[in-house]
Chains A and B, each alone.
Chain A
Amino acid sequence: ELVLTQSPVILSVSPGEEATLSCRASQSSSTNLAWYQQHPGQAPRLLIYGASTRATGIPARFSGSGSGTEFTLTIGSLQSEDFAVYYCQQYNNWPYTFGQGTKLEIK
């Protein structure tokens, strides 16, 4: 099973600043990686797929990069609604797996 490790577990950032979240794969996931955002009590929402392609309706301040085993989600100029938990998900190998999440909290 391809294991995804996200860091940091908790990230404290002030509104208006930039946040950088990392996702490391235990083996290559090529660019078959997605990012999701989840607010409490809600289902996750797709932000990025193909490592760097924004999903429909996702603001341009969200950007993804990386390939192979190292991936990054960058959120520029944080808005109040961006404070949530973020998950990466690989779809290179079945079973498809998720990282354990990074909680982005207000500093």
Chain B
Amino acid sequence: QVQLHESGPGLVKPSQTLSLTCTVSGGSIISGGYYWSWIRQTPGKGLEWIGYFYYGDNMYYNPSLKSRVSISVDTSKGHISLKLTSVTAADTAVYYCARGPRSTPIILLWGQGTLVTVSS
């Protein structure tokens, strides 16, 4: 059974880079039929889709974050990484790694989420 687990620093200083890793266990990122996403949730803006990709295809980033975000994959480790540069307090959120069927952009599998606070 595939599981997703997010990890990374819980506290990041303003203007620095937020870096998170999603570890995929019980399955492979390479296996077809799925897309992989990062989604965040804040009290103010609610749920926000940061970006997604199909393995072997392009990365798709939310235009509101595109200049600051990047997603990368290390298939040998089963890792999906998220980097968000120049963070502010508005980036304080619970960050989720998620997976859905390639045919339909919905989320069927979520990680447990990790809270990242941006504060000096």
Contacts and interface: CB of A to CB of B under 8 A. Distances in A.
Interface of A: 1, 34, 36, 43-44, 46, 49-50, 55, 87, 89, 91, 94-101
B60 A94 contact: yes
A26 to B, nearest CB: 15
A43 B110 contact: yes
Contact of B46 (A1, A50, A87, A94): A87
Contacts of B62: 95
A55 B108 contact: yes
Nearest to B60: A94
A91 B104 contact: yes
Nearest to B110: A43
A50 B104 contact: yes
Contacts of A96: 49, 105
4 closest Cβ contacts across the A-B interface? A43-B110, A91-B105, A98-B47, A95-B62
Interface in B55-106: 60, 62-64, 96, 98, 104-106
A44 B110 contact: yes
B106 A91 contact: yes
Interface residues of B, number: 19
B105 A44 contact: no
B6 to A, nearest CB: 10
Contacts of B96: 43
B107 A95 contact: no
Contacts of B98: 43
Contacts of A100: 46
B52 to A, nearest CB: 8
Contacts of B110: 43-44
B111 interface: yes
B119 interface: no
Contacts of B28: none
B65 to A, nearest CB: 9
Contact of A44 (B60, B63, B104, B107): B107
